[in-house]
Amino acid sequence: MTVKVIRVGEDILSANEDKAGANKARLDKCGVLTVNIMSSPGAGKTSLIMSTIANLKDKLRIGVIEGDVASSVDAEKINALGIPVIQINTAGGCHLDANMVEYALNGLPLEAIDLLFIENVGNLICPNAFVLGEDRRVMIASTPEGDDKPLKYPAMFADSDCVLLNKIDLMPHLDFDNDAFRRTVTGLNPDVIIFPVSCQTGTGLADWYAWLTAAVRGKRGK
Amino acid sequence: MTVKVIRVGEDILSANEDKAGANKARLDKCGVLTVNIMSSPGAGKTSLIMSTIANLKDKLRIGVIEGDVASSVDAEKINALGIPVIQINTAGGCHLDANMVEYALNGLPLEAIDLLFIENVGNLICPNAFVLGEDRRVMIASTPEGDDKPLKYPAMFADSDCVLLNKIDLMPHLDFDNDAFRRTVTGLNPDVIIFPVSCQTGTGLADWYAWLTAAVRGKRGK
């Protein structure tokens, strides 16, 4: 009899991938385009979701899963817009995993959703390792964080389909080198799409809405 | 014979605390005041350390341990100031632990240091659970992250000795409720000291320098 060795890191990630695959199959069956949104704390995940709801809610049926270490302030904001939302509190955990998302999916009317946002816990490191069953991985970087963040937290930039550079309205007050930022991001991830935006003023969001709408149509067309 | 149960979380934290105790004893023996600096990515840890070096280096002998997932850009900036610095790359790890700090201490001239900064990995969650051997836990929150961060990431605010609210020069361009921020922070941590500062303009930093200098003198007076 061979000894069973549990490699904690590998086994956790492999179990998570299986569960994420099951989530994805379930979401595919209902035709839901699912977007995993990741960023540092305060980069603008909730603001982006709120702006997108305001802009697209007459065209697409949107649902939201909110991930936070504690509190339900974000879910309450989204609930006030009349959008189906489930809050996951990780109780200290620094990322969402596919198991948490499975629970949340049980509470959502998936047949009546075209576009599902999963707002991850604010963290530039661990969420990247845990797939959830999403179609698209989107990260938000914000200008006040500095142009060197892709150098210091490369994995999430390398693995995202799309990077939104948020808070560009603050650029005139910051020492942010836009060319250096772009150069590092595209060096890590040549296929990435970068949208410079301001969720505060609305600048640049039209391109994001168009990209998202095309992805939802693409999924329905399958 | 009783079965040995390994509780991964507990045992890791307990082993870390033992190692942190050994680090602390070693630093105490050399009279080094050690400050663990934690924040979100891009809140201003390196900027704070650089400003503090510029202001206090003629009065205090300063050393730095830099923690990052990848790169050594911060350590290079500090090295250029002629300050002893060791870079720890965590290779994907989302926090420093006491073991990593032990290795770094081996590379620093502890007898010739009065004040040691340990710049943790940018993360508002996990670094809080791992003591390193520090005398003071300092966190930086920055105004662009929003006033709701203490609600969403309460543990680190609850356990810090001092919170610097950085980037107050951006306040006029943001929707940041200073009273709400202070109320939540002091609700979590009634004894905390809050310093509103701007590392960009220097506003408010004199109080931080005075607090730090008093702590160094207090340790030497022991």
Q: What are the Cα distances from residue B60, in Å, to B75, B114, B203?
A: 19, 6, 21
Q: Compare CB distances from A167 to B93, B126, B144 and report the shortest one's residue.
A: B144
Q: What pLDDT, on the 0 to 100 scale, is given for residue A11?
A: 77
Interface subset of B 34-53, CB within 8 angstroms of A: 40-43
Residue B201 sits at the chain A interface (C-beta within 8 Å): no
Query: Do A155 and B92 count as a contact with CB atoms less than 8 A apart?
Result: yes
Q: What pLDDT, on the 0 to 100 scale, is given for residue B8?
A: 56
pLDDT band at A2; cut points 50, 70, 90: low
Q: What residues of chain B lie within 8 A of the CB of A92, using their CB?
A: 125, 129, 155
Residue A149 sits at the chain B interface (C-beta within 8 Å): yes
Token couple for A111 = 């047949």
Task: Answer for the pair A212, A51: CB distance below 8 angstroms, yes or no.
Answer: no
Distance from CA of B69 to the nearest CA of A (A): 6
For residue B12, pLDDT over 90 is answered with: no
Does A222 or A49 have the greater pLDDT score?
Answer: A49
Gap between the Cα atoms of A123 and B94, Å rounded: 9
Task: Answer for the pair B150, B141: CB distance below 8 angstroms, yes or no.
Answer: yes
Query: Do A122 and B153 count as a contact with CB atoms less than 8 A apart?
Result: yes
What's the mean pLDDT when you consider all of chain A? 94
**Half-sphere exposure (CA, 13 Å, Cβ side) for A125?**
21
State pLDDT tens for residues B201-216.
999 999 999 999 999 9
Strand ranges across the sheet with B115-119: B85-89, B62-68, B115-119, B33-39, B136-142, B162-166, B193-196
State pLDDT tens for residues B18-51.
999 999 999 999 999 999 999 999 999 999 999 9
Q: What pLDDT, on the 0 to 100 scale, is given for residue B51?
A: 97
Gap between the Cα atoms of A44 and A141, Å rounded: 8
Query: Do B69 and A152 count as a contact with CB atoms less than 8 A apart?
Result: yes
Q: What residues of chain B lie within 8 A of the CB of A121, using their CB?
A: 125
What's the mean pLDDT when you consider all of chain B? 94
Q: In DSSP terms, which residues pair with A37 in a beta bridge?
A: A119, A138
Q: What residues of chain B lie within 8 A of the CB of A125, using their CB?
A: 69, 92-94, 121, 123
The pTM for the full model equals 0.92
Percent of chain B residues topping a pLDDT of 70: 95
State pLDDT tens for residues A172-215.
999 999 999 999 999 999 999 999 999 999 999 999 999 999 99
Task: Answer for the pair A119, A64: CB distance below 8 angstroms, yes or no.
Answer: yes
Q: How many CB pairs under 8 A join A and B?
A: 112
Mean pLDDT along residues A14-34: 96
Gap between the Cα atoms of B152 and B59, Å rounded: 38
Task: Answer for the pair B40, B122: CB distance below 8 angstroms, yes or no.
Answer: yes
Task: Answer for the pair B135, B215: CB distance below 8 angstroms, yes or no.
Answer: yes
Cβ-Cβ contacts under 8 Å for B17 (sequence gap 6 or more): B98, B131
Mean pLDDT along residues A134-162: 97
For residue B86, pLDDT over 60 is answered with: yes
Query: Which of A72-76, B52-56, B149-153 comes out lowest in average pLDDT?
Result: A72-76
Closest by CA to B162, choosing from B7, B29, B42, B33, is B33
Gap between the Cα atoms of A141 and A150, Å rounded: 9
Cβ-Cβ contacts under 8 Å for A105 (sequence gap 6 or more): A23, A26, A27, A65
Task: Answer for the pair A94, B125: CB distance below 8 angstroms, yes or no.
Answer: yes
Token couple for B155 = 């543990």
For residue B133, pLDDT over 80 is answered with: yes
pLDDT band at B221; cut points 50, 70, 90: confident
Task: Answer for the pair B135, B31: CB distance below 8 angstroms, yes or no.
Answer: no
Q: What pLDDT, on the 0 to 100 scale, is given for residue B2?
A: 58
Q: What are the Cα distances from residue B149, in Å, to A125, B104, B146, B182?
A: 18, 31, 6, 11
Q: What residues of chain B lie within 8 A of the CB of A153, using their CB?
A: 41, 69-70, 122
HEC string of A13-54?
HHHHHHHHHHHHHHHHHCCCEEEEEEECCCCCHHHHHHHHHH
pLDDT band at A116; cut points 50, 70, 90: very high
Q: What pLDDT, on the 0 to 100 scale, is given for residue B1?
A: 54
Q: In DSSP terms, which residues pair with B118 in a beta bridge?
A: B36, B65
**Single-letter residue type at A14:** S
Mean pLDDT along residues B58-73: 94
Residue A180 sits at the chain B interface (C-beta within 8 Å): no
